[in-house]
Structure 1
Amino acid sequence: MKFRLKSVFALFTLVGAMGGGLSAANANTLAQVMEQKVLRVAIDLNAPPYGMTDDKVTAIGSDVETAQLIADSLGVKLQVVPTTQANRIPFLLTNKADVVISSLSITPERAKVVDFSIPYADNKAVVAVAKDSPIKEMKDLVGKTVVTARGTTNDQQLTKQAPPGTNIVRFENDATAITAITSGQSSIFATAPSIIGALNKKYPAKAMDIRIVMSSAKLAIGVAKNNPEIKEKMNELVRANLKNGKLNAIYKKYHQTDLPADVVAMGN
């Protein structure tokens, strides 16, 4: 399930907390999406295995295939809108995308700005370290440098839980944070378990162990608050594809495990 990227959008800064200072543009309605026969989906393509590109610059990943599945179920063409973790919500608020499918965790802060579908997957925020590191808990991070991707749940949880004296270095996406790890800038990474798995597979000499689980969150499709019809349709399609097992198959393909039972139960 692969397709070419159509365009690359200019990036801009998220002002304030999750959309603060941004006024929402009128989002495309479900009727407009169906008329145009295109669903524009914001996806971070620098967050493996959720979103990434292969050596032919083709978009792949669990969120990419999930977006394709949703578009196919809707009977329209998928248009991937490349974004970053920090710009996922701004792209939605400014109508550069119809929905966000980009490892977007449901949080109270985000729920003030956007609506969410029912969960289609889950994700944990963890701290991983070099295999020979003595670090075992949050208090051990004092005086250490921890890298993470800006604007992610991992960033939020690390900022909230890290003890004073922890040096947090934020990168624009997981790919550049991985580069910081593999280049030796740090040996501590706050991210998702699947990203650590991908890093360990690609860079076995830099393999890391997960030592701290900061939080567990559900992933959902982000929808503009002034777009209830699209939210209802996303719920319908997620529920159907949980029930028929297609979302589980995508998740297992990229994350080597089944979806949690409480997510699968959303399809009933």
Structure 2
Amino acid sequence: MQGKGEQAPLVSKAPLRGVRPRFARAGPALLAAAVLTLAPLAPTPAAADHGPQGPPLKVRFAPEKDYGPFIYEDSDGVVRGLSMDMLAALAEHANLQLEMLPPRPLNEILAAAQRGEVDLISSLRPTPERAKVLGFTRAYATVPAVLVTLPTGQQPTLLDFQGRPVAVGRGYAVEAFAREKYPAVQWVSVNDDAEGLQKLRLGQVSAVVADVASVHFVADRLGLDAFKVHAGIGFEYPLSFAFLKSRPDIGERLEEGLRLLPEAQRQTLRRQWLEGRQQRGEDPRARWLIRLGTALAALAVLGLAVAWWRQRESVHDAG
């Protein structure tokens, strides 16, 4: 989960391996279109072959430990993910030399940034609180937060969980949004989405709020199954690279790298990391729209049949 806020340091769990989950799909495919998009960052022809010249700019990059598929440490201790691959690709265009810091939970990274100990963070949602210390590039991906439950024939919303426990990432930007908009829900803060899904499987919470790509990734990685992804909750994560405000030169280099990164390369990375993790559940309103459309179509057919019958009777009477 991303867009996380500045809270006390978290205790991160070691990555686990698992098999691909079998998610319970909800509704027709009209809302199963791509919901994770990369911002248009096509380079201009005049500058496509030229980046910053001179010695490389050294930056201390603090990767998050467990925010797949965007940035995470795998079981072999290697940092992977869409954001990692994109950063590595744009670093060449931006003439950046990355100093990889040990992967940590985001709250610890944000605290380190406040102390000036890191220069660069990935996969971060801009917030007013963070903007006091950090600057942000344009968003390079957007992902919605969704409601996740055990399989059910219903299409619930958060309004249906008043007084019931629902897990949400501690310090995540969506936590503040959810607590403010749905104060009657019994919110249970968890260290990460994996912990939230585990609690859901064990019946310790009734639902989980998380971003849709992270839900699919975590369930796949941990071998969790039998979850149902419902419609978005009205909150999205526009993910950006963040840099210390005291280092605007890093921000300029990052923007230049994003601008020069070829479109084909961005699309390849997007397919590699996001394809198959874009399914979100059916919006309950879609069911009523489908029913309404079906009813209107039936009425139209009935109207045509009545008109044809009247015309036939009219011809018969005239004969």
**TM-score interval, smaller chain:** 0.7 to 0.9
Gaps of 5+ in 1: 1-11, 15-33, 260-268
1:20-169 alignment, distance < 5 Å: 38-73=58-93, 74-101=95-122, 103-132=123-152, 134=154, 136-164=156-184, 166-169=185-188
Q: Which amino acid aligns with 1:170?
A: S
CA contact (8 A) 2:138 2:240 kept: yes
**Aligned length, in residue pairs:** 227
- Tell me the distance in 2 between the aligned counterparts of 1:191 and 1:248: 24
- Tell me the distance in 1 between the aligned counterparts of 2:244 and 2:98: 20
Structure 1 residue 192 corresponds to structure 2 residue 187: no
1:29 aligns with none
1:20 aligns with none
CA contact (8 A) 2:91 2:254 kept: no
Distance of aligned partners of 1:105 and 1:95 in 2 relative to their CA distance in 1, 3 Å threshold: same
TM-score (norm 1): 0.73
CA contact (8 A) 2:146 2:233 kept: yes
TM-score (norm 2): 0.62
Q: Which amino acid aligns with 1:109?
A: E
Q: Equivalent residue of 2:177, what SS?
A: helix
- Tell me the distance in 1 between the aligned counterparts of 2:206 and 2:60: 37
% identical equivalent positions = 18
- Tell me the distance in 1 between the aligned counterparts of 2:217 and 2:60: 27
Distance of aligned partners of 1:199 and 1:206 in 2 relative to their CA distance in 1, 3 Å threshold: farther
1:34-59 deviation per Cα after TM superposition (whole angstroms, max 9, x unaligned): 56x64322222212212223332222
Gaps of 5+ in 2: 1-6, 10-54, 279-319
Q: Equivalent residue of 1:119, what SS?
A: coil
Q: Which has the larger radius of gyration?
A: 2
1:148-191 deviation per Cα after TM superposition (whole angstroms, max 9, x unaligned): 21111221221222242x11111222333333234332241111
Higher-RCO chain (CA-CA 8 Å, sequence separation at least 6): 2
Name segments (4+ residues, structure 1) moved above 6 Å.
none
2:220 aligns with 201
1:262 aligns with none
2:8 to 13, 24, 32: 13
Distance of aligned partners of 1:85 and 1:55 in 2 relative to their CA distance in 1, 3 Å threshold: closer
1:163-242 alignment, distance < 5 Å: 163-164=183-184, 166-202=185-221, 203-241=223-261
Shift of 1:230: 1.0
Shift of 1:135: 5.2
CA contact (8 A) 1:40 1:81 kept: no
- Tell me the distance in 1 between the aligned counterparts of 2:130 and 2:242: 9
CA contact (8 A) 1:252 1:258 kept: no
- Tell me the distance in 2 between the aligned counterparts of 1:222 and 1:75: 15
Q: Equivalent residue of 1:170, what SS?
A: strand
Shift of 1:117: 0.9
- Tell me the distance in 1 between the aligned counterparts of 2:224 and 2:126: 32
Q: Equivalent residue of 2:107, what SS?
A: coil
- Tell me the distance in 2 between the aligned counterparts of 1:238 and 1:121: 12
Q: Equivalent residue of 1:39, what SS?
A: strand
Instruction: Choose 130-139 or 142-151, whichever is displaced more.
Output: 130-139
Distance of aligned partners of 1:177 and 1:42 in 2 relative to their CA distance in 1, 3 Å threshold: farther
